[in-house]
Amino acid sequence: MEFSVKSGSPEKQRSACIVVGVFEPRRLSSTAEQLDDISEGYISNLLRRGDLEGKSGQMLLLHNVPNILSERVLLVGCGKERDLDERQYRQIINKTINTLNETGSMEAVCFLSELHVKGRDTYWKIRQAVEATQDCLYSFNSLKTRKEEPRRPLRKIVFNVPTRRELPIGERAITHALAISIGVKSCKNVANMPPNICNPAYLSEQAKTLESDYDNISVEIVDEQQMEELGMGSYLAVGRGSENESLMSVIKYSGANDDSAPIVLLGKGLTFDSGGISLKPGAAMDEMKYDMGGAAGVLGAMHALAELQLPLNVIGVLAGCENMPDANAYRPGDILTTMSGQTVEVLNTDAEGRLVLCDALTYIERFDPESVIDVATLTGACVVALGSHATGLLSTHNPLAHELLNASEQSGDRAWRLPLWEDYQEQLESPFADFTNLGGKGAGTITAACFLSRFTKKYHWAHLDIAGTAWRSGANKGSTGRPVSMLTQFLLNRAGQEQGE
């Protein structure tokens, strides 16, 4: 898919399709008004006849509009002009791309980026449009024997900006969006892969692919023998019931001109989570292949980072593991000794992600990190609290939490902060070990983060619970690619390239 930006009058565009907006009720956008004048009222006459009201998401494709050089004009309903916000803008772009892709318009000049969206500038509108386009056109069909493809798929979009001085802004937006889209696609492809293919070794192979593709990336794989030597008893216990070896992939990106302390991104990589001895219900258990969504998200963010070549030192850690029931599987009642030396009483083997992450968080200390962000499909409680719209954010360091919240708002990949008060730590008390791996029914997302916080005393730390945002269920089941956009925005901000300046 090819994207570009230019500044020009709509009547001079020679393309397969021109895309313009119409507001409710039947009110032409400024660009649509220009086309209407050139066509001697052709468009406004259609609207008066009731062909299009302008409601958000309505589409009307016109052929051979008088005096217009382009073959088609696509009128896009944008709702009421004063109500056009970022959510509605993204929905309009999605509907537009799907329509173009189905109507044989292989290229288009899009004037929707000139619409006024509350509080958003040209950079944001073009970047969101590119990301939304790539998301719309994504499909995971590599394992299908019969692939359905559009006969004349959309291949090129030109976004129009009001003035020539905004061309560099639009070009930066496209550059950033394409890098993020590459990361999102990488995340989706790995997450959507079935668990008989995507196991911890497969995650390691994806990490090594990055190493071979980019000169400033190196990868180290920590296997079970090394984990044993390091005392990672908690991590090892979770994978004990699986035929697939637990492997932790450490991806080092060296982009800074000095040896400054790295930012570490840690992803939970449970390539399948059966629940272990505390077996999950059978319904929708197939979706537990997505329990490695955190690792997929970190892999995607590292891919986007490498594309952008940001001047940072960043380490991505993929904590690969599989949780299966077996004669050798760990049990409720077991007491595990973590790499930190702290002991954990296992109350439920389905609270396994924190047992893998806690040892990875201790391992990360050796890098003397500037900050650490872990990403995990950790708790069903987060889905109950926030649904599928927002990622749960918890942190022991307010500045880091605020940076992530800001990045989430900028990127549209939303997060919501939950408290991490000391009061909740009491729920993890154990009569037999230092603490348990389960905090009871109440505040499950918070007590899971409380557990992790006990292993993060030596650095600034934040936790992203993506249990509700990493994938969609139902007819459109599949990975969302989140939170690649948020993490990449965080790294762009850290690099001082919030909008590519």
Residues 193 and 74 in one domain: no
Collect the ranges in the chain with pLDDT lower than 50. 500-501
Taking only Cα atoms into account, the Rg of the chain, rounded to an integer number of angstroms, comes to: 25
Could you confirm whether 280 is annotated as catalytic? yes
Q: Which of 120, 172, 185, 354 is catalytic?
A: 354
At 499 the pLDDT is: 63
Residues 306 and 245 in one domain: yes
Task: Tell me, yes or no, whether 43 lies in a domain.
Answer: yes
At 338 the pLDDT is: 98
Q: Which of 80, 280, 414, 417 is catalytic?
A: 280
Residues 260 and 123 in one domain: no
In the three-class reduction of DSSP (H, G, I as helix; E, B as strand; rest coil), residue 439 is classed as coil
Of 486, 477, 484, 470, the residue nearest 140 (C-alpha): 477
Residues 361 and 469 in one domain: yes
Residues 189 and 123 in one domain: no
Give the residue from 133, 165, 197 where a domain finishes.
165
Residues 69 and 144 in one domain: yes
Distance, CA of 195 to CA of 337 (rounded, Å): 28
Cβ–Cβ < 8 Å for 382, 465:
yes
Residues 151 and 234 in one domain: no
Cβ–Cβ < 8 Å for 222, 248:
yes
Cβ–Cβ < 8 Å for 221, 248:
yes
Residues 331 and 453 in one domain: yes
Distance, CA of 500 to CA of 176 (rounded, Å): 8
Residues 137 and 207 in one domain: no
Residues 127 and 197 in one domain: no
What digits encode the pLDDT tens for the residues 42-87? 999 999 999 999 999 999 999 999 999 899 999 999 999 999 999 9
**β-strand partners of 160:** 6
Phi then psi for residue 158, to 5 deg, are: -110, 125
Give the CATH number, domain containing residue 397.
Answer: 3.40.630.10
What digits encode the pLDDT tens for the residues 197-255? 999 999 999 999 999 999 999 999 999 999 999 999 999 999 999 999 999 999 999 99
Residues 79 and 140 in one domain: yes
Could you confirm whether 90 is annotated as catalytic? no
Task: Tell me, yes or no, whether 27 lies in a domain.
Answer: yes
Task: Tell me, yes or no, whether 500 lies in a domain.
Answer: no
Domain that holds residue 20: 2-165
Cβ–Cβ < 8 Å for 374, 464:
yes
Give the residue from 165, 190, 212 where a domain finishes.
165
At 500 the pLDDT is: 45
Task: Tell me, yes or no, whether 23 lies in a domain.
Answer: yes
Residues 127 and 187 in one domain: no
Give the CATH number, domain containing residue 56.
Answer: 3.40.220.10
